[in-house]
Structure 1
Amino acid sequence: MGYIDAHTHLVFKETITEELMNFAMREWGAPREVILMGVKDVIRVLDDANIDYVGIMAFPARKLGTVKEDYALRVINAVRDYADRFAVIGGVEANELTIEETKYWLERQYEAGISAIKVHPPHMWLKPNAYRPEEGGLRQLELVYQFAEDHGLPVYIHTGTSAFSRARNKYGDPIFVDDVAVDFPRLTIIMSHVGRPNWVATAFQLIRIRPNIMADLSSIPPRRVLEYIPRLTEISDKSIYGSDYPGPGVYDIKANLQEFLSIPIPKEAIKKMVDDNPRRVLKPLSRNR
């Protein structure tokens, strides 16, 4: 049995759009041959790295000029023959859709087999608690969380900054996730990036005190994770590993995993984060078979 990488931005030559390709080359800086791998090529890479399955972010990002809600469906169709190797994380841009459109796309993506939903505040330009009356009362966002809670889907919420040129980093403060945890107590919230680099202390405390918030350790270089989170072992029961591959600076999925496996903490804590915890909260597409 291998490992789980719960947070990647894998794209495939079978599904990539011109807009997404231009964005990836400009903002990620990843080699073209990494961005343009086919599904079978990716399977070989995963096999070599001893990775059983990965989570693929396939959420819309109109503000960045990349993809819309149908992208998750295209990714699912592309990897369907390898349903046990991929978990597809979809999503909707609640502040760009009507209530009816929000319901439609949530249902379409769920029927197709999404494993989770992603909310990316700095890229979507909204607070994760924007559904609250005092924060604008965005009913569409409330529907996203309610749908996920009712259907047993975890929700990834980006916290921390984004270096992308059109990101609005004021929305990356993890304190706004606290409202979501309180208002949707049955919802599993996966706090991506643990608020790095500005708000790690806030994110760490929320992960400790809110039973339904977990940590997604992606995009923190493994060699520096203990600098960011010295008390990582205290939340190892609530943390999952992710590489962010092939995002900025992460161009070798195997090397990133091996570096994480070498973090000087107890091996049982490492196993929880790369195996036990992600298997529990993030199911691959094959769960529907």
Structure 2
Amino acid sequence: MLDGMPLVDAHVHAPRLSTLKPAWREWAVEFAGRYDWRAAYDDAGDPVPAALDALLESEGVDRALLFCEYSPRATGIQPIEDNLPLVEHNPVRFRLVASVNPHLHHPVASEVERQLSLGAVALKIHPVHGGFSPSDKELYAAYQVCADRGVPVIVHTGSSTFPGARARFGDPSLLVDVVEDFPTLDVILAHGGRGWWYDVAAFLALAKPNVWLDLAGLPPRRLPEYYARFDLERLAAKWVFSTDWPGIPGVARNARALTELDLPEELLRGVLGGNAAKLFPGLGI
């Protein structure tokens, strides 16, 4: 709990550093600043389950969704299995998020099923780092699995600074057909259309009941600027608190910064944990 409110961080990266390209580590150091995320790692660069658990506990995080990624062209391959020790240490706080790349996984539906069988509560698609369109019909089989299982799909939208990324695949408008073809599938736009596409992402979230915005990597104090053309309270009803840990100045710091937006308490509770509780199965908060 953070200041009496349940807190879910729905976008956390805690990979083994040996699986990453140098640009990822440079990103984490630059955006974390003085935030000591390395305290949760050992000298070999592997996350220490007890240390990460204690760090997030100290920041009031009740649930943390752990991402994996299969993007050899941009960041590296961080298999879902690497996150299993964290979940085994604290299966209440830590939850898995699956990921597939159609260039690497075939058939994608089978791989999604396999990763969901490990306990994943969502599927993450990273078209910008993977170099594919999120509307690729090959991914429809993966979306169908998630729709059938009641599991949301998180899709990276917006820009990326990593070498090898393809920003054009971050356009949220590429997901219009997906959202309409799978009306029962909740689609979460990670990073809220960061960069060129804030308006597109916000419009989709307000127009479609199954579209949500993840706030990962977005400084809370700048949200009114990013979404200046929209009613902020109305849009906040579709926000899911996320940080992009460890590339942040602190989870609690980001969460408390949201309180400075003067959102009604009920709406703020939804952003910090309530919306995630509705979207991700079995969070239990």
TM-score, with structure 2 as normaliser? 0.87
The residue aligned with 2:38 is: 33
**Could you say which residue in structure 2 is the equivalent of 1:235?**
235
Counterpart residue number, 1:151: 149
Give the superposed CA RMSD: 2.2
- Residue 97 of structure 1: CA displacement? 2.8
Unaligned segments of structure 1, at least 5 residues? 132-138
Deviation digits for residues 107-145 of structure 1 (CA, Å, limit 9, x no counterpart): 2211110110011111111111121xxxxxxx2x11111
Match of 2:44 in 1: none
- From the two aligned structures, give the one with the greater helix fraction: 1
Letter in structure 2 aligned against 1:90: A
Shift of 1:10: 2.5
1:67 CA displacement: 1.1
Partner of 1:10: 14
Could you tell me which of 53, 56, 67 is aligned with 2:77? 67
1:44 corresponds in structure 2 to 54
Deviation at 1:7, TM superposition (A): 1.2
Q: Name the amino acid aligned to 2:246.
A: P
| Structure 1 segment 189-200 matched on structure 2, within 5 A | 189-200=187-198
Aligned-pair CA distance for 1:266: 2.1
Note closer, same or farther for the CA distance 1:170–1:243 as it changes in structure 2 (3 Å cut): same
- Find out whether 1:53 has 2:63 as its counterpart: yes
Query: Closer, same or farther in 2 for the Cα pair 1:95/1:45, shift >3 Å?
Result: same
Q: Does the 8 Å contact 2:80/2:96 carry over to 1?
A: yes
How many angstroms does 1:35 deviate by?
6.5
The match for 2:254 among 253, 256, 265 is: 256
Quick check: 1:269 aligned with 2:279? no
Q: 1:285 to 1:204 in 2, by over 3 A?
A: closer
Q: Tell me the CA shift for residue 52 of structure 1.
A: 0.5
% identical equivalent positions: 27
Across the two proteins, how many residue pairs are aligned to each other?
Answer: 269
DSSP 3-state at the match of 1:96: coil
Note if contact 1:189-1:213 (Cα within 8 Å) is conserved in structure 2: yes
Q: Is the 8 A contact 2:98 2:120 kept in 1?
A: yes
8 A Cα contact 1:215 1:239, kept in partner? yes
